[in-house]
Amino acid sequence: TPRVFSGIQPTNHLQLGNYLGAVKRFVAMQNDGMETIYCIVDQHAITANFQNPADLRHATRELAAAYLACGLDPAKSILFNQSQVPAHSQLAWVFNCVARMGWLNRMTQFKDKAGKNAEKASLGLYAYPSLMAADILVYHATHVPVGDDQKQHVELTRDIAAKFNHDYGVEFFPETQPIIEGAATRVMSLRDGTKKMSKSDPSDASRINLTDDADTIAKKIRKAKTDPEPLPETTEGLADRPEARNLVNIYAALAEITPAQVLAEHGGSQFGSFKPALADLAVDKLAPISTEMSRLMGDTAEIDRVLAAGAERAAAIADPIIAKTYDIVGFVR
Ligand code: AQP
């Protein structure tokens, strides 16, 4: 039976790309009645930069509030933070011994995040994809909704599963499918249409945060980088216009229509009129989320209860899979 797993790191505030590329689709899959497991991957959050413990705790609860405010329902989905379910790191160790250095050397996210000085990167950042494979496979998850940037990591997950199954002569870990769909699989920076929108971009103007209020959202869209041409009539006309394409894609994803439909309505318009229409739409869709997040953050004890209950349900699935893995590997218990 299909089982969906995905996760997001609690680093900084959630941005529009995380919402459109990930959370909005998490909610859709939950509401389609699939078995859904959604994680706050706090163990991944300490791989890149030093996280102040108070900030990490705050970001973890805020991400939980964002999940809930976006429509994840703990009665329908399992919702928890990774560090409360030790099975993730238990399986990650086994996978560290299955994955090859050469495979990890090819990961573009490591290269991007480590920058020029890979010697100074943490071992955890290097092994990140192996922990991510464990996050997914410790539930035998078959479907992983992610943004385009995570495609390579899901492919590595399949390679690890296949090598484990082959080495031990078992058919134990399933083949996982990345689900990368819709107009917003790669939302770009509002300041540079060739760069991915990211929580950790030093420029706050480059992204819309789910915590931004209505005025801030409208102002960031008004100031977004564009070119001087009017919008084209068809999507072919967006080919060499990354900033224009990005705004059209964002509009389409927020309105739940296709980019072609956006251009059928707005083709020929100047940005002077398209941007206010986009800002209205964004405020309409996002402001209620930010309001609900602030309300939920007023009771962090309740958030902690939701996460603890979710972790218990997650462990009930993961623990037998770890037990079986240990038997296959030959660990005496
Ligand atoms: N710009 C984006 N467009 C579409 N999807 C995106 N995702 C991230 N950015 C975009 C998707 O969001 C999910 C969670 O991402 P993550 O927190 O695990 O880390 P990330 O991909 O590294 O996201 P950020 O915002 O760039 O965080 P930082 O700056 O902390 O590294 C994933 O499904 C991802 O594809």
Classify residue 12: in a domain, yes or no: yes
Per the CB < 8 A criterion, the answer to whether 217 and 287 are in contact is yes
Looking at the chain, the whole-number percentage of residues with pLDDT higher than 90 is: 97
C-beta 43 within 6 A of ligand 1: no
Same domain, 164 and 77: yes
Residue in 76, 151, 195, 199 annotated catalytic? 199
**Is 196 marked active-site?**
yes
Classify residue 29: in a domain, yes or no: yes
Environment class of 198 (CB within 10 Å of its CB; exposed 0-12, middle 13-18, buried 19+): buried
CATH code of the domain covering residue 11? 3.40.50.620
Q: Which atom of ligand 1 is nearest to the CA of 184?
A: 4
For residue 220, the model assigns a pLDDT of 97
Classify residue 11: in a domain, yes or no: yes
For residue 309, the model assigns a pLDDT of 98
For 195-249, what is each residue's pLDDT tens digit? Answer: 999 998 999 999 999 999 999 999 999 999 999 999 999 999 999 999 999 999 9
For residue 200, the model assigns a pLDDT of 87
Does the pLDDT at position 12 exceed 90? no
Residue in 196, 220, 275, 285 annotated catalytic? 196
**How many helices and strands (H and E) does the chain possess?**
14, 5
**Is 199 marked active-site?**
yes
Residue in 76, 113, 151, 225 annotated catalytic? 113
For 58-78, what is each residue's pLDDT tens digit? Answer: 999 999 999 999 999 999 999
CATH code of the domain covering residue 218? 1.10.240.10
Does the pLDDT at position 55 exceed 90? yes
Same domain, 254 and 320: no
Q: Distance between CA 290 and CA 214 in Å, rounded? A: 9
Average pLDDT of every residue of the chain: 96
Same domain, 59 and 83: yes
Classify residue 21: in a domain, yes or no: yes
Domain encompassing residue 55 = 3-185+299-329
Same domain, 273 and 169: no
Same domain, 158 and 307: yes
Instruction: Tell me how far the alpha carbon of residue 110 lies from the centroid of ligand 1, in angstroms.
Output: 14
Same domain, 170 and 250: no
Band (pLDDT 50/70/90 cuts) for residue 1 is confident
Residues 15, 227, 280, 149: what is their CA dihedral angle, to the nearest 10 degrees? -20
**Is 111 marked active-site?**
no
Classify residue 219: in a domain, yes or no: yes
For residue 167, the model assigns a pLDDT of 98
* Residue 185 bridge partners (DSSP): none
For residue 52, the model assigns a pLDDT of 96
C-beta 9 within 6 A of ligand 1: yes
Same domain, 178 and 315: yes
Classify residue 245: in a domain, yes or no: yes
**Total domains present in the chain:** 2
For residue 161, the surrounding DSSP H or E stretch is helix 151-168
Same domain, 181 and 265: no
Atom 8, ligand 1: residue with shortest CA distance: 18
C-beta 8 within 6 A of ligand 1: yes
Q: Work out the angle between the directed axes of helices 214-222 and 271-297 (0-180°, nearest 10).
A: 150
Same domain, 307 and 291: no
Interface confidence, given as ipTM, is 0.95
C-beta 16 within 6 A of ligand 1: no
For 128-181, what is each residue's pLDDT tens digit? Answer: 999 999 999 999 999 999 999 999 999 999 999 999 999 999 999 999 999 999
Environment class of 202 (CB within 10 Å of its CB; exposed 0-12, middle 13-18, buried 19+): exposed
Q: Distance between CA 199 and CA 203 in Å, rounded? A: 10
Same domain, 78 and 127: yes
For 99-124, what is each residue's pLDDT tens digit? Answer: 999 999 999 999 999 988 899 999 99
Same domain, 143 and 31: yes
Classify residue 201: in a domain, yes or no: no
C-beta 198 within 6 A of ligand 1: yes
Residues 6+ apart with CB under 8 A from 166: none
Classify residue 194: in a domain, yes or no: no
Same domain, 93 and 35: yes
